Structure formats: C-alpha cells, structure tokens
Chain A
Amino acid sequence: MALEKPYADVPGTTIFDSDQARKGYHLSCFCMTLMKAENRDRFHANERAYLDEWPMTEEQKQAVLARDYNQMIWLGGNIYFLAKLFASDGKSFQYAAASMTGMSQEEYANMMLNGGRSPDGQPNEGVKNRG
C-alpha cells in the first residue's frame, strides 16, 4: 500500500521524504564532500570531472552545473546539503531561496522586509498595507 502523503498538494513545496531522499542520495554524497576546503578547490577547478566521480543521474549533474536549485530539489535535493554547494560558491541561504522563487535577490529581500510570503504563496505585503 502506498504511503500517505497529505503534503503532496502544498503549493511550491517539495517535502524531503523517503522517496526524495532515496533519489537524492548520491547528490547528497557529492555535496557533503564540499565541507572540506581541498575538495571545494578541486570541484571549482573542474566541476564536470568532479561530478563524474559520483553515480548521480545526468539530470542531477546538469542541475548542479546550472545551479538550478529548484531542479536539484525536485531531483532529490535537500536545502541543507545543497547549502554546502552554494556556500562553496560564496552564496547565502537568501540567495539560494530567492533563486527558487523566480525573483531577483533584491526583490526577494524586499519581500522579506515587508513581512515575507503568506502560506497561500502570495506576498504578505498587501496584508500589511491593509493594516
């Protein structure tokens, strides 16, 4: 019998459950190696060659090369091991989060200053303006 997934219909959200974790295992192994400075250097010197050391899918490798975080999340990524990747690029959680929303980092930062996004996916800013 299939597992119950009441979270499947939450908009704009991928829950890192057993199916996702299974898909993302090798992607996670790659990301975890970036916690060592010498590996970060080796990765940045030749990304493709470094990625080929892991039995990840070609789709996963392309998503990493493109730094497409939504795609990585859909293919079994989790933001906390993907953090090793964007940290190695010198990027912040806010940069990575903004990149997944289709907003520029500045637009996203402004949305956060205005109270963030409501659970229905719309910015809270309107709520604030209505008092």
Chain B
Amino acid sequence: MAKITAGVTMSHVPALGAAIDLGKTGDAYWAPAFKGFELSKQWMKDNTPDVVFLVYNDHMTAFSLDIIPTFAIGCAERFQPADEGWGPRPVPVVEGHPELAWHIAQSVIQQDFDLTIVNKMDVDHGLTVPLSLMCGQPKAWPFKVIPFPVNVVTYPPPSGNRCYQLGKAIRRAVDSFDGDLNVQIWGTGGMSHQLQGPRAGLINKPFDYAFLDGIVNDPETIAKIPHIDYVRQAGSEGIELVMWLIMRGALDAKVKQIHRFHHVPTSNTALGHLILENPR
C-alpha cells in the first residue's frame, strides 16, 4: 500500500528561484538562506520518495479571477513551468502521477472535500521553488509530483481547521491506495510577510517561532487560529500558512522533527522550513 513517510514545509519566495537560476546562491545576501537547505538536500537524496503531494498556491498564473478553485488537484501526466511575466524558469518539466492523483480525488471528494480536478495547468514559482530548494538543479526531478493548489489569494482562503481536516482526508486516501508507493506531503508558503500597501515588509519572528513550535507539537491548537490573526500578525500574505496545516493533518499525531530553519529576510519574506518524519 502507499504510505506517507514524511512532511516538508517551506516558503516559496520567487526571488529564491531567481537566485538559483542566476547562480547567485553563494552571494553574501543569499548564502545564509541556502545554507538552511544543505541538510535538506542530503536528506532528500537519502529519502527520495516515489511521489510528492505538493500543496502550494497558484499566484494568478494558471488561475486568475476567471476561475478561483479553493482546492484543486493536478491529475495530469505532466505540468509545464509557467511564464509568469519574465519567461518560464529554466527547470525540468514536472511529471505527475495520474493514477494516485485520481485515486485521491475520488477518495477525498467522498470524504466531503469538494476538490476541483485539473488536467491542464502550468505550475508557477509556488511549486517549482520548493522543488529547487530541496533538489537543486537536476536534469529531471527525482520523483513524481501531484500539484495541489489552494486559493489563499482571493479572500477568504479556507480556514486553518478546514485545511487540517483535509490533510487527514488525504492521509486516508493515500493509505487506501493499493500500489506500493513512498509518498511525501509538502506544505509551502509563508512565513510572515506582506507584499502590499504601506505595511509591506512585515516580519513577525515571535509569531513564526510559535507557529513552527505549534505545527510540530500542537497542530490542533494551530488549526484554530482564525484568519484575522494571520492578517494582523503574519501579514496579508502570511495567511498562506494555512497550507502548512494540510501537510500536518496528513502526518501522524506525533512526528519526528528532522530539521528546522528560519531566516530573515528573503526579499520581503521570513523564510521558514521544517522536515518532519512519521515514525517508522
């Protein structure tokens, strides 16, 4: 049977992708941010899964105000890196896993989460930057990816608790898949940041640290944080952090923390990163 072995969270700041693509990861500004992923890249090599279920948000690239799905699942065979206005990132095509993706779609919808099924979708920095951070610059990504975009751009996003419960439904769906697959779930976005208005540049380390502690050890409490608290304390774009709860809901109640990293600033954003394993 398929099994979720680990969860990974990280910010997906586009400037990180640009730094990788332009060979600037060793620059004084960027080096401290990328240092936090050295252990992660080794861990990735030692623990390469068959499939990564990648929770992220589309930044009005594949979707726009024309169509705004709250939860969507990418079931296609492959997904092209998107041209977001400065040309597509020079990264490999993302190979999907249609069999597992369709299985999860049917199972999760039957558990009362009404997903939008997507078979044609380009993937933006929200998905490709995490792949680059964890895998570097390979010729092909070393695993299949099921993209799972969540609307956190047009208010209101789904609540933290809704995301947490959805994670549990995804776990049950993966557990019920007959194929023998090692699956990781990644939750991306955050941490504290605001990209608009006179309050742009918001960073809240105490909030971020408490969130990192809580997501590992007390996700039930973190799941109860209302939207307004994210807006006030983590910034208008910090509300992306609800996506980490989908990852956490799909893991065991008790997890082993392999790695934790926090760095300020990455462009406008506080960078946060966790690797969590389910007990074997």
| Contact residues of B: prevailing secondary structure | loop
Q: Is B14 in the interface zone, CB < 8 Å from A?
A: yes
- Nearest CB in chain A to that of B236: its residue: A13
B59 with A12: CB separation less than 8 A: no
Chain B interface bracket (under 10, 10 to 19, 20 to 34, 35 or more): 35 or more
Contact of B232 with A by CB under 8 A: yes
Q: Are B199 and A117 in contact (CB under 8 A)?
A: yes
Annotate A12-24 by CB proximity to B: 1 below 8 A, 0 otherwise. 1111111001001
Count A interface residues, CB 8 Å: 56
Q: How far is the CA of A99 from the CA of B265 in the complex (A)?
A: 18
Name the one of B14, B200, B205 contacting A115, with C-beta atoms under 8 angstroms: B205
Query: Are A100 and B268 in contact, with the CB atoms below 8 A?
Result: no
Task: Tell which of B156, B197, B265 touches A113, judged by Cβ atoms closer than 8 Å.
Answer: B265
CA distance A128 to B277 in the complex (A): 34
Interface window among A45-53, A54-62, A86-94: A86-94
Contact A32 B64, CB 8 Å, known A13-B194, A13-B196, A21-B154: yes
A11 on interface, CB distance cutoff 8 Å: yes
The answer to the question of B85 belonging to the interface, with a C-beta cut-off of 8 Å to chain A, is: yes
Q: CB distance A14 to B196 under 8 Å?
A: yes
Q: Assuming the A-B contacts A94-B15, A116-B203, A117-B203, are A15 and B195 also in contact, with contact meaning beta carbons closer than 8 angstroms in the complex?
A: no
CB nearest neighbor in A for B194: A13
B60 to chain A, nearest CB (A): 4
With an 8 A cutoff between CB atoms, is B201 at the interface? yes
Q: Which residues of A contact B225 (CB under 8 A)?
A: none
Cα–Cα distance between A124 and B202 once the two chains are bound (Å): 9
Question: Which residues 201-236 in B have Cβ within 8 Å of A in the complex?
Answer: 201-205, 207, 227-228, 231-233, 235-236
Q: Which of A83, A98, A108, A117 contacts B59 (CB 8 A)?
A: A83
Minimal beta-carbon separation of A18 from chain B (angstroms): 8
* A87 in contact with B15 (CB, 8 Å): no
A116-B64 in contact (CB<8A) = no
Contacts of A7 in B (CB 8 A): 155, 227-228, 231-232
A119 to B195 alpha-carbon distance, docked (Å) = 13
Max count, chain B CB within 10 A of own CB: residue among A18, A69, A70, A100: A100
With A13-B199, A28-B60, A116-B202 in contact, do A80 and B267 touch (Cβ < 8 Å)? no
B255 at the interface (CB under 8 A from A): no
Question: Shortest distance in angstroms between A74's beta carbon and chain B's nearest beta carbon?
Answer: 9
Of the candidates A70, A80, A121, which one forms a contact with B153 in the assembled complex, judged by CB atoms under 8 Å apart? A80
Indicate which residue in B83, B156, B196, B267 contacts A35 across the interface (CB closer than 8 Å): B83
A117 to B237, CA, bound (A): 14
Q: Which residue from B66, B82, B85, B205 sits with its C-beta under 8 Å from A34?
A: B85
B198 CB-CB contact with A under 8 Å: yes
In the bound assembly, the distance between CA atoms of A110 and B254 in angstroms comes to 40
Chain B nearest CB from A44 CB (Å) reads 12
User: Given that A17-B155, A97-B201 are contacting pairs, would A84 and B15 also be in contact in the complex, using a CB cutoff of 8 Å?
Assistant: no
Whether the pair A21, B65 counts as a contact (CB closer than 8 A) is yes
Contacting A at CB under 8 A, from B26-43, are none
* Of A35, A79, A111, A113, the contact of B84 (CB 8 Å cutoff): A35
> A80-B153, A116-B192 are known contacts; what are 12 more A-B pairs with Cβ within 8 Å?
A12-B197, A16-B153, A25-B65, A80-B60, A81-B65, A94-B268, A97-B200, A97-B268, A101-B200, A112-B203, A115-B264, A121-B198
Query: B residues engaging A (CB < 8 A)?
Result: 14-15, 59-61, 64-66, 82-87, 153-156, 192, 194-205, 207, 227-228, 231-233, 235-237, 264-265, 267-268, 270
Can you list 6 pairs linking A and B with CB atoms under 8 Å apart? A16-B236, A17-B155, A73-B197, A100-B200, A101-B200, A119-B233
